[in-house]
Chains A and B, each alone.
Chain A
Amino acid sequence: MGIEWVVIILSSAYLGLLFVIAGWAEKNANKQWLSNPYIYALSLAVYCTAWTFYGSVGRAANQGLDFLTTYMGPILMAPLFWLVLRKIIRICKAQRITSIADFISARYGKSLFLGAFATIICILAIIPYISIQLKAISSSFRIFSADVAGSKGLFFNDSAFYLMVILAVFTIFFGSRKIDASQKNTGLITVVAFESLFKLFAFVVLGFYVTYGLFNGFSDIFIKSSELPYFERLITIDPVDGYGDWFWLNILSFLAIILLPRQFHVAVKENNDENHLKKAIWLFPLYLFLINVFVLPIALGGNLLFPGNSVDADTYVLVMPLAQGNTFLALLVFLGGFSAATSMIIVSTSALSIMISNNLMIPGILRSEFLSKKLNPQLNKVVLRGRQLMIVVMLMLAYLYYKYIGQPFPLVSIGLISFVGVAQFAPSAIGGMFWKGGNYKGAIASLTVGFLVWMFTLVLPTIVNAKLIDATILNEGLFGLSWLKPQAFLGVDFSNNVSQGFMWSILCNGLAYVGVSALTSQSIKETNQAEVFVDIFKYSTVYESAIVWKGQAFITDIKNLLSMFLGKRRTDLAFERFSDRNAIEQGTIEADFRVVNFAEKLLSGAVGSASARVLMSSVVKEEEIKLEEVFNILQETQRYITDNKELKKKSVELETAGVKLRQANKELTKLDELKDEFISTVTHEMRTPITSIRALSEIINDNEDLKTEERAKFLDTIVEETKRMERLINQVLDLEKIESGKLEIPFSTIHLNDVANESVRKVKQLISEKGIALSTNLHGKLPLVKGNRDRLVQVILNLMSNAIKFCDNSNGEITITTSTRNGSVELSVSDNGPGVPKDSQKLIFEAFYQAKNQTLKKPEGSGLGLTICKKIIDKHEGSIWIENGAESGAVVAFSLPKLKL
């Protein structure tokens, strides 16, 4: 079996796989995970066509870095997606707009003419573009089959022809099944996302193969190619025209990423969720980066392996692995290019078919009385069949273009000419979205001028090259006027025709748009739409009420009209939902403006906004609106919006107040609980000594025959327990005094070392009795602090008595340290006991912490000592904390602010 059969079988299998994926996705269309931002971002990569796959390498091999401009523009636009694309998406959702032509038509008062005009520009720009995809596939196929006759033979010998047929079937199946074009085609988008992944994979694999397999990495390729005679030209920008070219070509692709019909289709029409843009903003540029990393190495590698133009650089990616006998890789690359081409063709044709049916076909039918009468009962079928027919027609046209006109051009040049064509929409589409003043006449002028200059400077030369007309016009200019030479328009002659043509067309176009818009006025209908487009974020919530309309219509008429396109069931359902939402009573006969708008929007999804307008006006008797009325209604709307905002603000404020109240209440309750807890713990702590006192007193009372030493022991215990009670009472009172601020703590200037020494003196005896080693480590130049000597002694004594309690039973060690840190003076008491668990280190300063935590061994003491310490230190504006020592034991430390001089 020849290799060409393998290729044919593989490509058929690949197309089969696409059918399977699309069918599967369509079946699972309602699953949440199929509408995810990754699929969305990948579908945007339909931007990378066969032109990227084959043409970038060709362009890099011949012209150098130029190829990057096609990708840098989109990368520059990506950060603006949130600003520009989100606005377009919002507008299109509100108005059920499904294509760029529809978008322009809707903005300028739903003009039939503009819609049709934009559609024609799209057709003229995109058909050649589709044709280069066919060309790419068929020439890549020929590389395997060595069949040079391919494109020159009859159509049934031509692989491109069969491909076209299969793609037509696919697109009809998955791109135009639903009459309401504003519904999503999950199958189509999933396939496009899959193809994006696949072509990236294939290209990157090849990139690795060339860079690391055929050569020794990037530097190897660059070092070797530096000996090529034209190397410098390839990796630098031409100092004469280069910078201008770069500028214009970047702007061109910057606009194309939004305006190309297929990009509009995937990015706007098939968008499920605005938030997907957030991922696409970085994922899409990343994709473009990855698919371009290896372009230059492959191009240079090709130049090295096939010196002297022996191989067409557009085919390097296939010829390189084939020349090494690596058929498997070549087949993978072929499929990658195939996937790039097919996804572009599928999306472009479905976008074009919707555009044509909405802007050319349906208006045509509606205009012709004969046709619209005859087709009336099955209009919805006509629309659908029409769209499917258009897919076939588009593909046929692309095929014919490829066979008879497009052969002499490299892939890139035709692609760029298409870009310039659609870029002509920029002033009217993007301008109209941000400038309310742009109007219908301005848009007409803009498109006309742009279109003419584009045709003249870029399209005309291609026709001449195809030898369809004489070349004199190129050499001598129109009417023999030398300043009207297409490739040196107005006497300016760039080395790059595309950037020159783009510059002139977009400049003239923009100027015409602004100039004519400024000099002429808008109609009411237009003002409505301009208002909605520019301020969509203000209106998208109250859209229905933001439209100025006055007229008379009957609901039954409207329903009948809708059923023709949507079917009775869908119409009834939609109306039912709408009435529910807007509290319209059943049995209402006359339609108000909300119903009319709603119906028109529904219809727009099926037939485009301009046609919908025409259809609606057949059942609605509209009245001319006076300017004052417009202002009144607009003002009312504005007021409504403002009131609404005010209301929202109020309710937010109320909510905040509620939250604060709840918070306060919670705190109060907590305080209350703390107080309760404190009291119950204090009384509990008191019960213990009282219990002993009572029991022992009763024993002494009841037993007169007690031994003397027994009686003495019991009495001693009673006294001891009474003292315990006394201590507890004193501490509670202390705490209360400090907390309520009744306790005066007079401050004076003191030296913390003195305080430490005094404290040590007081416990020295006790400590030596217990056999504990006490050491001090006092800082020599300790700054002075402000504080109360007696209270600080109390704190240190308390810390030391804790240390005595907890330090090692047999070899107790206690250290007192003073030091300075960050403008404060610190004193710490450390022991060599068991330390304090991390999670208790904060809690330990709470009252009765030990009593509440029964797992601690109960030491003597009231449980209030550390709490009192903390209160005292707080009064000094210092802080107290506990941590575990470096080796073992606990370190309790406090710091006081250094005295400010």
Chain B
Amino acid sequence: MKKVLIVDDEPNILMSLEFLMKKNGYKVFIARDGSEALGTVQDELPDVVILDIMMPEVDGYEVCEFIKKKVDANIKVVFLTAKGKESDFEKGYEVGADFYMTKPFSTKKLVDKVNELAN
């Protein structure tokens, strides 16, 4: 079973994402902020991480950089964020993201992308 880690500080978004990923056959892990995510990534080594950017203390960019450089560059990272500016995109890919998706998002598109990256 492939593993997905969802990182977001909005409980309602977490709820919907958790449902979606479980429904599509993933083992789901949840982190409510950046620092929690750092721990879970190291413990569980997920295949895909769905990552919000604006979070207290450790933001999404830092989490992504940490995953790609310090943990395993093969872990796929999908940014899922309300930050929609061109420069935010660029920065996301700069720190090593595999995909960048803005909120609000299409559930179908997200599931397709995660499936593609996980395999």
Please encode chain A, from 484 to 502, with 1 for each CB lying within 8 Å of some chain B CB and 0 for all others. 0000000000000000000
Pick out which of these stretches binds chain B: A123-131, A230-238, A364-372, A687-695: A687-695
Contact A698-B107, Cβ < 8 Å, known A688-B13, A691-B13: yes
A887 interfacial by beta-carbon distance below 8 Å? no
User: Nearest chain B CB to A64's CB is how many angstroms away?
Assistant: 81
Contact A854-B16, Cβ < 8 Å, known A687-B104, A691-B104, A703-B23: no
Q: Flag if B12 contacts A854 (CB, 8 Å).
A: no
Count contacts between A and B, CB distance < 8 Å.
62
Q: Flag if A695 contacts B56 (CB, 8 Å).
A: no
Q: Flag if A699 contacts B19 (CB, 8 Å).
A: yes
Please encode chain A, from 650 to 684, with 1 for each CB lying within 8 Å of some chain B CB and 0 for all others. 00000000000000000000000000000000001
In the bound assembly, the distance between CA atoms of A714 and B12 in angstroms comes to: 9
Q: Flag if A694 contacts B105 (CB, 8 Å).
A: yes
A855 interfacial by beta-carbon distance below 8 Å? yes
User: Nearest chain B CB to A644's CB is how many angstroms away?
Assistant: 53
A702 interfacial by beta-carbon distance below 8 Å? yes
User: Nearest chain A CB to B13's CB is how many angstroms away?
Assistant: 5
In the complex, chain B residues whose CB is within 8 Å of the CB of A717:
12, 15
A821 interfacial by beta-carbon distance below 8 Å? no
A761 interfacial by beta-carbon distance below 8 Å? no
In the bound assembly, the distance between CA atoms of A691 and B101 in angstroms comes to: 12
In the bound assembly, the distance between CA atoms of A690 and B16 in angstroms comes to: 12
A274 interfacial by beta-carbon distance below 8 Å? no
B17 interfacial by beta-carbon distance below 8 Å? yes
User: Nearest chain B CB to A37's CB is how many angstroms away?
Assistant: 55
Q: Taking CB as reference atom, which chain A residue is nearest B110?
A: A695
Q: Flag if A688 contacts B108 (CB, 8 Å).
A: no
Contact A699-B20, Cβ < 8 Å, known A688-B103, A691-B103, A857-B56: yes
In the bound assembly, the distance between CA atoms of A187 and B23 in angstroms comes to: 94
In the bound assembly, the distance between CA atoms of A710 and B23 in angstroms comes to: 13
Q: Flag if B106 contacts A854 (CB, 8 Å).
A: no
Q: Flag if B82 contacts A688 (CB, 8 Å).
A: yes
B57 interfacial by beta-carbon distance below 8 Å? yes
In the complex, chain B residues whose CB is within 8 Å of the CB of A688:
10, 13, 82, 103
A721 interfacial by beta-carbon distance below 8 Å? yes
A856 interfacial by beta-carbon distance below 8 Å? yes
Q: Taking CB as reference atom, which chain A residue is nearest B57?
A: A855
In the bound assembly, the distance between CA atoms of A692 and B83 in angstroms comes to: 16
In the complex, chain B residues whose CB is within 8 Å of the CB of A855:
56-57
Q: Taking CB as reference atom, which chain A residue is nearest B12?
A: A692
A696 interfacial by beta-carbon distance below 8 Å? yes
Cross-chain contact of A854 among B15, B55, B105, B107 (Cβ < 8 A)? B55
User: Nearest chain B CB to A683's CB is how many angstroms away?
Assistant: 9
Considering the complex, which residues of chain B in the window 1-22 have a beta carbon less than 8 Å from any beta carbon of chain A? 9-10, 12-13, 15-17, 19-20
Max chain B CB contacts within 10 Å: which of A684, A690, A721? A684
User: Nearest chain A CB to B10's CB is how many angstroms away?
Assistant: 6
Considering the complex, which residues of chain B in the window 22-56 have a beta carbon less than 8 Å from any beta carbon of chain A? 23, 54-56
Q: Flag if B107 contacts A695 (CB, 8 Å).
A: yes
In the bound assembly, the distance between CA atoms of A684 and B59 in angstroms comes to: 16
In the bound assembly, the distance between CA atoms of A251 and B24 in angstroms comes to: 107
In the complex, chain A residues whose CB is within 8 Å of the CB of B107:
695, 698-699, 702
Cross-chain contact of A721 among B12, B19, B106 (Cβ < 8 A)? B12
In the complex, chain A residues whose CB is within 8 Å of the CB of B10:
688, 691-692
Q: Flag if B82 contacts A695 (CB, 8 Å).
A: no
Contact A691-B20, Cβ < 8 Å, known A717-B15, A854-B55: no
In the complex, chain A residues whose CB is within 8 Å of the CB of B56:
854-858
Q: Taking CB as reference atom, which chain B residue is nearest A717?
A: B12
Q: Taking CB as reference atom, which chain B residue is nearest A702?
A: B107
Q: Taking CB as reference atom, which chain B residue is nearest A857?
A: B56
Contact A692-B54, Cβ < 8 Å, known A687-B104, A698-B108, A699-B107: no
Cross-chain contact of B105 among A695, A702, A851 (Cβ < 8 A)? A695
In the bound assembly, the distance between CA atoms of A855 and B33 in angstroms comes to: 11
Please encode chain A, from 165 to 191, with 1 for each CB lying within 8 Å of some chain B CB and 0 for all others. 000000000000000000000000000
In the bound assembly, the distance between CA atoms of A692 and B107 in angstroms comes to: 11
User: Nearest chain B CB to A749's CB is how many angstroms away?
Assistant: 45
Q: Flag if A684 contacts B82 (CB, 8 Å).
A: yes
In the complex, chain A residues whose CB is within 8 Å of the CB of B103:
687-688, 690-691
User: Nearest chain B CB to A721's CB is how many angstroms away?
Assistant: 6
In the complex, chain A residues whose CB is within 8 Å of the CB of B23:
703
Max chain A CB contacts within 10 Å: which of B13, B16, B108? B16
Q: Taking CB as reference atom, which chain A residue is nearest B107?
A: A698
User: Nearest chain B CB to A640's CB is how many angstroms away?
Assistant: 59
User: Nearest chain B CB to A728's CB is how many angstroms away?
Assistant: 14
In the complex, chain B residues whose CB is within 8 Å of the CB of A703:
23
In the complex, chain A residues whose CB is within 8 Å of the CB of B17:
695
Contact A695-B13, Cβ < 8 Å, known A687-B82, A687-B103: yes
In the bound assembly, the distance between CA atoms of A703 and B19 in angstroms comes to: 11
User: Nearest chain A CB to B12's CB is how many angstroms away?
Assistant: 4
In the bound assembly, the distance between CA atoms of A857 and B15 in angstroms comes to: 19
In the bound assembly, the distance between CA atoms of A694 and B12 in angstroms comes to: 11
User: Nearest chain A CB to B69's CB is how many angstroms away?
Assistant: 22
User: Nearest chain B CB to A674's CB is how many angstroms away?
Assistant: 18
Q: Flag if A692 contacts B16 (CB, 8 Å).
A: yes
Q: Flag if B59 contacts A854 (CB, 8 Å).
A: yes
Q: Flag if B108 contacts A691 (CB, 8 Å).
A: no
Please encode chain A, from 843 to 865, with 1 for each CB lying within 8 Å of some chain B CB and 0 for all others. 00000000100111110000000
In the complex, chain A residues whose CB is within 8 Å of the CB of B106:
698
Q: Flag if A858 contacts B9 (CB, 8 Å).
A: yes
User: Nearest chain A CB to B9's CB is how many angstroms away?
Assistant: 6
In the bound assembly, the distance between CA atoms of A855 and B9 in angstroms comes to: 12
Please encode chain B, from 92 to 107, with 1 for each CB lying within 8 Å of some chain A CB and 0 for all others. 0000000000011111
Max chain B CB contacts within 10 Å: which of A691, A694, A720? A691
In the bound assembly, the distance between CA atoms of A688 and B82 in angstroms comes to: 7
In the bound assembly, the distance between CA atoms of A858 and B56 in angstroms comes to: 7
In the bound assembly, the distance between CA atoms of A342 and B82 in angstroms comes to: 85
User: Nearest chain B CB to A861's CB is how many angstroms away?
Assistant: 14
Max chain A CB contacts within 10 Å: which of B15, B55, B83? B15
Q: Taking CB as reference atom, which chain A residue is nearest B81?
A: A687
In the bound assembly, the distance between CA atoms of A703 and B55 in angstroms comes to: 30
In the complex, chain B residues whose CB is within 8 Å of the CB of A693:
104
Please encode chain A, from 449 to 485, with 1 for each CB lying within 8 Å of some chain B CB and 0 for all others. 0000000000000000000000000000000000000
In the complex, chain B residues whose CB is within 8 Å of the CB of A684:
82-83
Q: Taking CB as reference atom, which chain A residue is nearest B54?
A: A854
User: Nearest chain A CB to B64's CB is how many angstroms away?
Assistant: 15
User: Nearest chain A CB to B80's CB is how many angstroms away?
Assistant: 9
User: Nearest chain A CB to B111's CB is how many angstroms away?
Assistant: 10
In the complex, chain B residues whose CB is within 8 Å of the CB of A854:
54-57, 59
In the complex, chain B residues whose CB is within 8 Å of the CB of A702:
107-108
Max chain B CB contacts within 10 Å: which of A694, A710, A721? A694
Q: Flag if B59 contacts A691 (CB, 8 Å).
A: no
In the complex, chain B residues whose CB is within 8 Å of the CB of A851:
54
User: Nearest chain A CB to B79's CB is how many angstroms away?
Assistant: 13
Q: Taking CB as reference atom, which chain B residue is nearest A856?
A: B56
In the complex, chain A residues whose CB is within 8 Å of the CB of B108:
698, 702
User: Nearest chain B CB to A703's CB is how many angstroms away?
Assistant: 7
Please encode chain B, from 53 to 80, with 1 for each CB lying within 8 Å of some chain A CB and 0 for all others. 0111101000000000000000000000
In the complex, chain B residues whose CB is within 8 Å of the CB of A714:
16
User: Nearest chain A CB to B100's CB is how many angstroms away?
Assistant: 15
In the complex, chain B residues whose CB is within 8 Å of the CB of A691:
10, 13, 82, 103-105
Cross-chain contact of A699 among B16, B82, B105 (Cβ < 8 A)? B16
In the bound assembly, the distance between CA atoms of A101 and B23 in angstroms comes to: 109
In the complex, chain B residues whose CB is within 8 Å of the CB of A856:
56
List 12 A–B pairs whose Cβ atoms lie within 8 Å, in order of A's numbering: A687-B103, A688-B103, A691-B105, A692-B10, A694-B105, A695-B104, A696-B12, A696-B15, A699-B19, A699-B20, A720-B12, A854-B55
Starting from the known contacts A693-B104, A699-B16, 8 additional A-B residue pairs (CB-CB under 8 Å) come to A684-B83, A688-B13, A690-B104, A694-B105, A695-B16, A695-B20, A699-B107, A854-B54
Lowest 3 CB-CB distances: which A-B pairs, in order? A687-B82, A691-B103, A695-B16
